Amino acid sequence: MRFLLLFLIKIYWMLKAKNQEPRCIFRISCSRHVYQMAKTEGLFKGLKAFAYRYQNCRDGYQVIINPITDQNYMILPNGDQLQQHEIAKKFQSCLLNKTEL
């Protein structure tokens, strides 16, 4: 069954437009993360990773800039906190420029 999930992700990568800008808020894309989890940890860990990313990789996050440490954080819809190194690079430029996302 794990191989079916890996196969479906590979098909998704083939069908996805190559010039389409990623919309994922995570540094490692959702499909790449789920693929890695399923390949190394098995089907159930892969499905669990998919469910987590599906619930949290969407609108509803908040960006927090700590004025004391000048560190940037992202609060996900479920309340989890992403550190600056876990946030996608396209969001990093917005954070560094202190502009709205």
**Domain limits of the chain?**
2-10+25-96
pLDDT in tens, 5-34: 999 999 999 998 778 777 788 999 999 999
C-alpha 62: how far from its chain's center?
14
| DSSP reduced 3-state for 79 | coil
Residues 64-93: what's their mean pLDDT?
85
Token reading at 35: 């693929």
Residue 20: Cβ within 10 Å count? 7
**pTM of the complete model beyond 0.85:** no
Are 64 and 83 in contact by the 8 Å Cβ rule? The answer is: no
